[in-house]
Amino acid sequence: MNTLPDGRPVPQMTGDERPMLESWLDFHRATLELKCAGLDDAQVRRASAEPSSLTLLGLVQHLAEVERNWSQRVFAGLDVPPVYEDGTGYALETGRGLDEALAVWRREIARGRELTAGRSLEDTGRIAGGPMAGLEVSLRWVLIHLIEEYARHNGHADILRERIDGVTGA
């Protein structure tokens, strides 16, 4: 696997669809982690794009919820509770820092990989709640949606990181 100078994996530019989708998702996951690298607890808790209360720590927690929702609830049809009390991941608790949030997020990613391993892109699950409740979605759709979700939130992370310490790019 090729990596960029900052350590992120280079997404596949050619090849089969599934490995390409998974490589783009891994790239975006690594981008989120990179945006949090080298920051202290106060910095990852800083809501630095007023009037929003969005933080880098909240984004990591939220994306753990996203991983659980789409892989476990929607695709695998499991009845699992939210990862965090608020159900979105955005709420911060004094005792929970970045290391713990990243460990939880990584566990959710690993569980999603277990549940989708060996499954076809055409295999389906059902959306459990919200405005699209009951709709059938393929694993392909779930992977594309996760890429979109990470790409959108990585844009937020770019702004947050730049406001925190001026780091830009990636």
Contact 162, 39 (CB under 8 A): no
The amino acid present at 143, given as its one-letter code, is L
Band (pLDDT 50/70/90 cuts) for residue 63 is very high
Is the peptide bond prior to 51 cis by the omega test (within 30 degrees of 0)?
yes
Write down how long the chain is: 170
- Any idea what the Cα angle at residue 95 is, between residues 35 and 163, rounded to 5°? 30
The answer to whether the Cα torsion of 153, 39, 29, 170 is positive or negative is positive
Q: Write out the two tokens for 142.
A: 């779930």
The enclosing H or E element of 32 equals helix 17-36
Question: With left for phi above 0 and alpha for psi between -120 and 50, is residue 164 left, alpha or beta?
Answer: alpha
Band (pLDDT 50/70/90 cuts) for residue 48 is confident
Domain boundaries, given as residue ranges, for the chain: 35-165
Residue 1 pLDDT: 75
Note the pLDDT tens digit of each residue in 64-118. Answer: 999 999 999 999 999 999 999 999 999 999 999 999 999 999 999 999 999 999 9
Asked: is 35-165 a CATH 3.20.20.70 domain? The reply is no
